[in-house]
Amino acid sequence: MVAQSDPYHLLIADDNESFRWTLREIFEPHFETYVAESGEEAIELSQQIRIDIALLDMHMLHLTGLDTVRALKDIDDVIPCILITSDFTEELQREASEADAFSVLRKPVSKSQLVKTVSQAIEVAYEDDDVYGWYNVS
């Protein structure tokens, strides 16, 4: 499949402002990026604009990342959602899988692992095999 002509829309939801902006700096040159500081804000954004992929912190106020995955999947079941957490457990992995999250990444996550996971999620969800190589990770 040929890569889509306009950039993918990436949603970053994390209550840690520094981490949100770090992620945005990594992806913004290659994706149309949107940031949210809560699960509620992420859901509101996804109802207003097109979201193609979501990176979600697991531990946010009110709604967890997992709750947000479930809500985003109710809105559009194609959106690949990647949870990022410092409290990885097999139970969380199982629950994320049941919620149809694409992946659960452990903090601290390396830039190369993050980029690879996002690329794989896009390839799987949108059958876009041209997405690899969009970012030269050193």
Instruction: Give me the CATH number covering residue 43.
Output: 3.40.50.2300
In a domain? residue 63: yes
The letter for the amino acid at 39 is G
Q: What 3-state class would DSSP assign to 78?
A: coil
pLDDT at 117 over 70: yes
49 in a structural domain: yes
Cβ neighbours for 29, distance < 8 A, ≥ 6 positions apart: none
pLDDT tens-digit map of 39-94: 999 999 999 999 999 999 999 989 999 999 999 999 999 999 999 999 999 999 99
Is residue 62 in some structural domain? yes
- Residue at 71 is within a domain: yes
In a domain, 94, yes or no: yes
Percent of the residues in the chain that have a pLDDT greater than 70, as a whole number: 90
The closest alpha carbon to 122, from 109, 133, 111, belongs to: 133
Q: Report the number of distinct structural domains present in the chain.
A: 1
Spell out the residues 6+ positions from residue 89 whose beta carbon is closer than 8 angstroms to its own: none
**Which residue range is the domain that position 81 belongs to?**
9-126
Tokens 């990022």 correspond to what residue? 84
Bridge partners (DSSP) listed for residue 9: 32
Q: Tell me the backbone φ, ψ of residue 40, rounded to 5 degrees.
A: -60, -45
Please indicate, yes or no, if residue 81 is contained in any of the structural domains. yes
Any domain includes 111: yes
pTM, rounded to two decimals: 0.92
Nearest-angstrom CA–CA distance, 51 and 11: 6
> Does residue 132 fall inside a structural domain?
no
CA dist., res. 113 & res. 109, Å (int): 7
